[in-house]
A and B are shown apart, each in its own frame.
Chain A
Amino acid sequence: MKIVLALVLAVLVTTVLISGCTQQPSGQSGAGKLTQKQAEGQAFQAVQQEVDQALGNITLQEVQNELLQQG
């Protein structure tokens, strides 16, 4: 009886551990070295966010007015 119980529990513990190990690599960040491609993707997102924040709602009319004002 005790052996069966111990086996069942050992299987449970192993399952939890394996589940953790297999889930981690699929996480958003993951481990590993930063690649040039990954860095470019992140950098592009940062710049795009900056552009959208600073210039998001500019209309053609506003641009024309501003350019005329600047001469």
Chain B
Amino acid sequence: MKNLLVLTVALLAIVMAGATVMADETVGAQTQVRSKIQTMGALGYGIATSQSNPMDFQLIKIGVAGVRVEKTEGEINVKVGVLYFGETKYKLMNVSIGNGTAAADIYDINDTVQKGTISLNAYVKGDREVWAGTLTLDGATYNAYVIQVPRVLKAEDKADDVKEYCKNNPVKCKATIKAVGSIICDPEKEGTSCSEKIKTFCSQNPDDNRCKVLRVAYCKLHMDDSNCRAEVLERCKQNSTAAECDKLVNMYEKYAEKNTEAVKKAPEWMKTVRNRVLEKIRSGKNVENDENENVTPGSGGQ
């Protein structure tokens, strides 16, 4: 009888030890590395044509982004990219993403040997954003043209952006919400808990006008993100007097001032906004400094 008791206790000890190990492994699984694209600099497809031989061309696909990588023990923000030149895949390192600009060094897929560089500027052609620039690869130089493709964002992703905006800009967040409806909560008084509530609300109600204007307000501060530019661009097609249009068009100025022909072919709304922007610049006003202005309610974004 005593032996049976000892055996039972021992078996229980083994089961408990096993459970401890399994629990440890579960905790291990929770420390998995997670990544989230914060800024999509460029995402698109196009063509690269050799500067020395126009008949030498290749289909290209590109994505460059700022990514937040998280682990329980820390968080690192990195900018990386991928380039498909025909069927060959390359890594893009030392990436820089600006307002309507993207540049990177091209490395082989094992990122051991640098193969070239790429530098692109964004502009609007027809109703879409396109990228144009140069690419050097294995000693050859190409002109590169890329058509920007929208990234499909989930309501949760947009709500996460809105949360960040309200957390960092509680006064503006409150004013933006009040401009189009009743406040969801008071970000000034409630702080982080309110930005969490707004996130939950906007995840569940992505078509609510308050969530749409908050998204635009976020985008006004994140014009380096191609999706934000695309959303603002859609709004500007409908209402080119909106303050955010000046900011958007000013971003393309780097390309426009060197490519007067492209400006002539730009959509009418863009020409109107550009004239306004140039006038502002001539009179010494800061085009970028419009953050005190609330988002124009209008259609409420995309």
Contacts and interface: CB of A to CB of B under 8 A. Distances in A.
A complexed with B: yes
Contacts of B89: 48
Interface residues of B, number: 62
Given A34-B73, A50-B63, A43 B25 contact: no
Main secondary structure of the interface of B (DSSP, over half): strand
A45 B32 CA distance: 14
Interface string B145-165: 101010110000000000000
B29 A29 contact: yes
B80 A44 contact: yes
Q: 7 shortest A-B CB distances, which residue pairs?
A: A20-B21, A43-B67, A9-B10, A51-B63, A39-B76, A39-B69, A29-B32
Nearest to B9: A9
Contacts of A46: 35-37, 65, 67
Contacts of A71: 125-126, 265
B21 A29 contact: no
17 contacts: A5-B3, A5-B6, A9-B13, A16-B14, A20-B17, A29-B29, A31-B31, A34-B74, A38-B33, A40-B78, A45-B35, A47-B63, A50-B40, A50-B63, A51-B62, A67-B47, A70-B130
B3 A2 contact: yes
B64 interface: yes
Interface residues of A, number: 48
Interface of B: 2-3, 6-7, 10, 13-14, 17-18, 20-22, 24-25, 28-29, 31-33, 35-37, 40, 43-47, 59, 61-65, 67, 69-76, 78-82, 84, 89, 91, 93, 125-126, 128, 130, 145, 147, 149, 151-152, 265
Interface in A29-71: 29-34, 36, 38-40, 42-48, 50-51, 53-55, 58-60, 63-64, 66-67, 69-71
Interface of A: 1-2, 5-6, 9, 12-13, 16-17, 19-21, 23-24, 27-34, 36, 38-40, 42-48, 50-51, 53-55, 58-60, 63-64, 66-67, 69-71
B25 A30 contact: no
Contacts of A17: 17, 20-21
